[in-house]
Every structure is written in C-alpha cells, then in structure tokens.
Structure 1
Amino acid sequence: MSAVFNFTFVPWFRSVAPYIHKFRHQTFVIGLPGEAIAAGKLPVIAQDLAMIQAMGVKIVLVHGFRPQVNEQLAAKGHEERYSHGMRITDSVALDCAQEAAGQLRYEIEAAFSQGLPNTPMAGSTVRVISGNFITARPVGIVDGVDFQHTGVVRKVDVAGIQRGLDMDALVLISPFGFSPTGEAFNLAMEEVATSVATALKADKLLFMTEVPGIRMRPEDPPGEDNPIDTELPLAQARRMLASVPDSHKPTDTAFYLRHCVKACEGGVERSHIIPFAVDGALLLEIYVHDGIGTMVVDEKLEELREATADDVAGILQLIEPFEKDGTLVKRDRTEIERDIANYTIIEHDGVLFGCAALYPYPEARTGEMAAVTVSPQSQGTGDGEKLLKRIEQRARNQGLQSLFVLTTRTMHWFLKRGFAPVDPNWLPEARKRKYNWDRKSQVLVKRL
C-alpha cells in the first residue's frame, strides 16, 4: 500500500508544486454566491480557502445572499421584485438584505475559525477582516422604475483592503455599499467582485457558480460532445457574448461570462467560472493544469496565434538548434511550408519565441502534437503551457478525443501535464508506419 501511495503521490506533488510557487503572494478575488452557502458548501469551501491562504495566496472573499434575502422576504410575506436584472430594494428588502448579510458574515467567520480538524492545521484559524470598503451610488430611476436602495459600485477602498491583506488576513466583503452620507445600498455580488478585482489588479477572479463552466457551443445541450471550454481567450469570449442572448439569470451563459470579460478588460489577467457543486473545485481549478471550469484569459492575439506562410523562416530558425542536438526530428522548409496551417506560434514584439503543430488523425479520433519548441530565453515563463492549451483547444474543436506526442528528452514535462505513456503500437496505423524504431521515442497520450 505504501509503495502504491508513493507512486501516485510523488508525481502528483511534483505537478502541483510549481503552481504553489507561482501563486505565492498573488491576490485572488473569490465570488461566492448565496446559492453555494444555501447548498451547504460553506464548510468545505472555507477549508479549501484556508489551505490556499496557507500556501501564500492573498484572498478577498465577496459573498452573495440572493436566496437568503428571498427567504427573509417570503417569511415577511413580502414579494421579491426585479427589473433590468436588478433587485428593486425597497425599505423592507433593505432590512432583509441587512439581516441576511449579518447572518452570513457570522457563518463565514465561524467557518474560518475552525481550522482543519485532526491535521497540523487544526489550530490555524484564518483571521477575517471586513469593513466599509465599497462606496456606492444609487441606481436611481431607470425607464420609470425606481430602484430605491439598489446601488452600483462607485469606488473601492484599495488601500484599506490591501492593509488587511498585508496583515495576512482574509478580507470579507458583503454586497453592500455606502454613500458619503452613510446611506446603505444593496449591490450585486458579481459587480462587487468584478469591481474589487479590477481595482486591486488582482491576479485572478474566481466565480463559484451553479454552472460547470462555459460550453464550447453554448447553444447546444451539455454532454460529451459539447464539453466545457477550459480556456477562452478574451477575444473569443467577447465573440461568444455577442452570439448569445444577454441574461440576468445566473445559470445562463452570458451572466458570469459578462463579468469575466469586464474583469479581464479592466486588467485582471485571468477570470474563472467554476462549479461549487464539485468538491474541491477551487483546488482543482488553481493547482491542476487543466482546471475544472472555464478560464477567460486576457491574451493579446498578436502573442499567441495560428501561423501563416510569413512565419516559416522564424519557425525554421527557432527549431534548428533543437534539431541539431537531437531533441527534435529534422524538418525541412518544404515540409513546414506545406503544413504551416497546422502550426501555432507565440510571438513577442515580432520575434517567435515558441511553436507547436497539430497533426490530426480523424479516423482514430486523435492528433499528434509535434515540433513543440520554446526559445531558451522564454523557457520557464509559461509559453509552453500556452502552446499546449491552444493545441488542445484546436484538437477539441476538430472533434479529437486525445492528443499524443513522441519525445526522447522532454517526457517529464508532458507527464506533469496529464500525458501518460503508452506502447508505440497504440499509434494510429498511418503514424505507426512513419515511427522511427531506431530513435525509440516515448509515446505519451492525453485524453481530452
């Protein structure tokens, strides 16, 4: 049993450790909807956040309270009212919101005071700081509808939040804002989380949602043939928003995606949509290569793109040193020119720093990732990860179910990213005929 445990633990820890290192001292804003708390997920989410913070991440937690307010309204026999996708907050609804917020803050603080029972973290309570960090203004009257005590974010107290984070505390923010005259306004959790992440220039904004993520084809029903799109470049996310109806329902595609796009446009490099129903969703999204939900990436199109005929010379120059030392198989100009549409490149200021090609084998529902190259000046910066993600995305878009590589020297890099070794006889017949048995390349496969 011990040997089996060691066999699984060591590769797992090696794959996770780089992400622990990368995210240390970074700032994450977590949007936690009231639905997740109503579903009983708060204790495990609090434990996961405590572990993430223990690994050096600075956390701002913005909680929602939509179902809790509705429950309070129902108990008072008062009808919930919405317009333009926003709650109309009359005096009764404001009282209910204040009661719900107070109760939820108590529950959240209690959850973070428990530590991790029966572990070395049993006594490590998480210090929670909350306060009046949001200045708001009223929505006012829109199309004849008076929104009364419903507001929108006017300003975020960045310095105050940062002081809390610098004290190694978790900063907790309720969806309330206050005017300079002390008037309280009910806000949307999603808007508050987006505004806070943008103001802080946070490294990540993560929404824990009722939906598993964004489907590759939002108009089609979920299923194996319509999987979650694990990475959406910002430009593609914008196009997707333009193609689906705008919505104010949290379970619709546009609802959280709209906020993710807004955050990325405001300077947040990565924003995520992950399902709170999955145990450990935060850990899986942050510390596992493929994640579990959808990540919207503020990625400049000129940096990662499909190659054109103008890139042939740059690709040849990039891969030549690796062909000479035997890391890559020799490819001549004619071959690259013929297959240029298969290539994806990374370009910085007009200089190619990385490339990879996808050769599909549709009859076997698989594809080969070949000519994977990252310039020595760019190694360790994540360019290899970006290339792999894009090739995976291209493969999924072509209906492929797996991706394979042949390698003699970079096996461990691929193993850390979800590939597994197979016998060369696994290869599709067309590729097996070209396999060089003298070179003895390792064949690694990843299921998509």
Structure 2
Amino acid sequence: MNTRFPFVDWFRQSSPYINAHRGRTFVVLIEGEAMAAGHSESLIQDLALLHTLGVRLVLVFGIRPQVNAALVEEGITPRLEEGRWVADDAIMARVERIAAEQRLWFEARLSLGLPNTPLHGIELTAVSGNLVMAKPLGVRNGLDFARSGEVRRVRADAVDALLKQGSLVVLPPLGFSSTGEVFDLDAAEVAQQAAVALGADKLVLLGDAEGLHDASGALQRQLTPAEAEPLMQEAAPGSELARHLAAACAAARHGVARTHLLSWHDSDALLGELFTRDGVGTMITQHRYEQLRDAELGDVGGLLELLEPLERRGMLVPRSRERLEHEIEDYLVIERDGMIIGCAALHEYADAQMGELACVAVHGDYRGGNRGERLLADVERRARRRGLSAMFALTTHTAHWFIEKGFGLADIHDLPPLKRDAYNHARKSKILLKPLS
C-alpha cells in the first residue's frame, strides 16, 4: 500500500512490535561517550516515546569519559588494571560527583515538557536510589582495588515496584554495601545484572560500534553466546567491546532472551532496532531450542558430562553409567540445542509414600535462569500425581536453596527405612523434608 506520507507505512508496519513491546521490561545502557559527544538528547526522546508505548524502562548510564576528563584536568593519574580503575578516595570523590551530576542531568531532561519539544505533554517520573548492592573487588594478584567494586545483587523487588508505578528507573554505575560504603561499578555489569534480576525481555547496550562484523566487514545480525564469546576473548581487556560482549553473553546464558548491540552515533538505532523486522545492530540471543522432558537412555552420556564436575567437587555422589541407565526413568532433563544442561531425579519409596529429590544439577553456564526451580516444580508435580505424602533431599552444599523452596531440616529417623539404612554417615549430608499434603 502506497501513501503520500512514508511515515504512515512505517507506522503500520511497526504496529505488531508496538503491541509486542507493551508491558515488557527493557534495560537500556547509554555509555558516557554518548553524553560527552552530545548524542544523548535524541536517546532521551526515544526513551520517553518507549515509555508512552507502555515499555517498562530501566536506564543505566556510564561516566568513564567524564571521570577521565576530570582526572586529567586535576592532574590525577589513575592506576588501571584489566581495564578497571583502582578507585582510591581521590578518584572516588570524582566518580561520586560526576555520577550525581549525570543522574540529575538525565532527570532534568526527562522532565522537559515545553511546547514544540518531543516531550511536550508527557509526564515522566524518573527514580533512582540505593537499588544496586555491591561488594569490593578486593585484593587481586596482590593489588588492592580499594573502592572499585562489582555487583552483589540488584534489588529487583524494589525496582519492579517502581516500574509497576509507572516510573522510569535510573541506575548510575555505583553500588552500595551493607557497611555503608559506595563502590565504583562497571556500567555494563550493572545493566546485565539488572536485566537478569528483573527477568528483562531485552537488554540494549548503546556503545560506539553499530554491532559486530564478520571477516568481510558485513554486519552480523544475530549470534548465540557461543558464537560471540570468541570475539570477547580477542577484545582488549576493559574495552567497551569486551565489556559489552561479556554482559550480552552472561545475560543470554541467564535467561535474558535478547541483547541488542547498537551505536549511539546513529540517532535512529534504538527505534530502528526495536520496530523494524531486520533491525540495525547485532542481537545476542539464547539458543533457540530448550525443553524440559523425561530422560532417555541416549541422554546418559550427556548426564555423565553434566554431573562429573559436581561429583569431582563433592557436591554430588558419583553415579556410574550402569546406575544411570538403570534409573533413567526417574530422571528429568533440560535439553538445550542438543546439550543436556540440567537434570533432577525422583526416586520413589512407595512403602513410605515418600520420594527422594536427587541429583538436581544445572550446568555452570546456565545457572541463574530459574532452571533449578523448573526442575523442582516438575518433580514435585510428579510426586503429587503419584500420591506421595512428602519429598526429601540430602545435600552437603545447598541446604539453603532447599529451605528457600519450602523444605525444612529433618532427622535421619524421618527417612524411609531403606534410605535410612543406606545413609552415608561419613558425608554428613543435611536432610531436608517437604510435606506434600
């Protein structure tokens, strides 16, 4: 359909995306270079537009060039290790001041509502606060990183409550400790951790480059974490490319469906990526295929490979191939693109009307995406269908996880007789019990 107004055609074509994005959570990182180069004004306007379309927004901003400029002006030479400052008190004073200034700048621009401006008539509530908890990097290779830190956790419940109120949440690259200290953080890590904690639908990283290119210079539209990680290894430590790829791959492996690498140089990049079929940057996605299913004999090799590191660390009792083959009908697995990345077993003790939740394991690269919870929920459903009155588990390392899921500490006498007789006193496993009735 042709029209005198090309915008009308674009609007019609974008309508499926407008509907799909409504109510979704996006975490957007704007690197400090964009503000230093004066490119953030159009980004602010685009964020306001997304807000009016019903997108739940978390904005993370960087301040690296602004802090570097302040240090140069004042004759302070920071020590850099692996791309991070050793943030002593002098450097931290500048970091805190500039982070506060930039946050206020964002809040002021998000409040702009003058006639003849894109934000006219739009009321945005931008909220920040002590929403990111941090811990020090500490001493590494003999070097004390002082107040340079890393994210301990994002207060997801508090952020989600603000988003439900219709606020746009602003996160500076700072974190707070339980001892009342403030730490300098990597903005890309803050964005990644926020996206994972919130279960965000998208993580958008706006940096200098428009995306990733292959050897011929062609833009790569879509990569999996496995395909992107070699590029991360080749990038200079601490560089924007290394930081963004680390964030994108970690987010994908921990349940964030899509991470978009875009350039702030392109004023159309954000909307072009979100509201067109082909997009304009590079998207890092999870593997396209993952399912929770009953285990089969053909999965035994994958199970052995998954369990071996945990058995070596003493977290699980070693299981032979023969034992796994014999008990395979007790197992559930999570398969992702042909790889077994998670498992759990339900061993039934019919005489006692109890079931043992055993061998709960998730591959290290895929923890944090609620896969353990999914396995537990499915095992519990099976136990209830079989009429079992309780489930129990034995663990040496993860008692707190089971307690958080409704299990309570129990005694050896609470176990079924057969399990009680087979209990390994040398391992001193904690016994956890969960009634099902």
Q: Same fold (TM over 0.5)?
A: yes
Q: Distance in 1 between matches of 2:24 and 2:42?
A: 22
Letter matched to residue 154 of structure 1: R
**Map of 2:270 onto structure 1:** 282
**Shift, 1:117, TM fit:** 4.2
Contact 1:247–1:255 (8 Å) recurs in 2 = no
For residue 123 of structure 1, report the CA deviation from its aligned partner: 2.1
In the alignment, which residue of structure 2 is the partner of 1:35? 33
Choose from 262, 281, 303 the match for 1:293. 281
| Cα 1:99/1:161, change in 2 over 3 Å | same
- One-letter amino acid matched to 1:63: F
Alpha-carbon deviation of 1:181? 1.4
Structure 1 counterpart of 2:68: 70
Secondary structure (helix, strand or coil) at the match of 2:213 reads coil
TM-score between the two structures when normalised by the length of structure 1 = 0.62
- Aligned-residue offset at 1:249: 4.4
Match of 1:226 in 2: 217
Question: Aligned equivalents of 1:119 and 1:76: distance in 2?
Answer: 37
Decide whether aligned partners of structure 1 residues 251 and 188 sit closer, same or farther in structure 2, where only a CA change above 3 A counts: closer
Q: Alignment partner for residue 144 of structure 1, among 134, 137, 142?
A: 142
The answer (yes or no) to whether the contact 1:246–1:255 under 8 Å persists in 2 is no
2:80 aligned with 1:86: no
| Structure 2 match to 1:112 | 110
Equivalent of residue 239 in structure 2, options 226, 245, 250: 250
Q: What secondary structure is seen at the aligned counterpart in 1 of 2:234?
A: coil
Q: Which residue of 1 aligns with 2:229?
A: 238
Change (3 A) 1:80 1:158: same
Q: 5+ unaligned residues in a row in structure 2: which ranges?
A: 292-335, 339-437
Residues 313-362 of structure 1 deviation map (CA, whole Å, 9 limit, x = unaligned): xxxxxxxxxxxxxxxxxxxxxxxxxxxxxxxxxxx999xxxxxxxxxxxx
2:260 aligned partner: 272
Distance in 2 of aligned mates of 1:86 and 1:101: 17
Gaps of 5+ in 1: 218-224, 304-347, 351-448
How far off is 1:237 after superposition? Answer: 2.2
Task: Give the drift of 1:74.
Answer: 1.9
Matches of 2:59 and 2:120, distance apart in 1: 22
Closer/same/farther in 2, CA of residues 24 and 48 from structure 1, 3 Å limit = same
Code of the aligned partner of 2:138: G
Cα 1:135–1:191 change in 2 (3 A) is same
- Equivalent pairs counted in the alignment come to 295
CA contact (8 A) 1:35 1:67 kept: yes
- TM-score if structure 2 supplies the norm length? 0.64
- State yes or no: 1:263 paired with 2:251: yes
Summarize the Cα distance change of 1:119–1:141 in structure 2 as closer, same or farther, 3 Å threshold: closer
Change (3 A) 1:277 1:145: same
Query: Deviation digits for residues 13-33 of structure 1, max 9, x if unmatched?
Result: 221000000010000001111
Paired letter, 2:280: I
Give the CA deviation at 1:11. Answer: 2.7
Partner SS, residue 132 of structure 1: coil
Counterpart AA for 1:81:
R
SS at match of 2:90: helix
Distance (Å, rounded) in 1 between the aligned partners of 2:147 and 2:159: 25
Which residue is equivalent to 1:17? 15
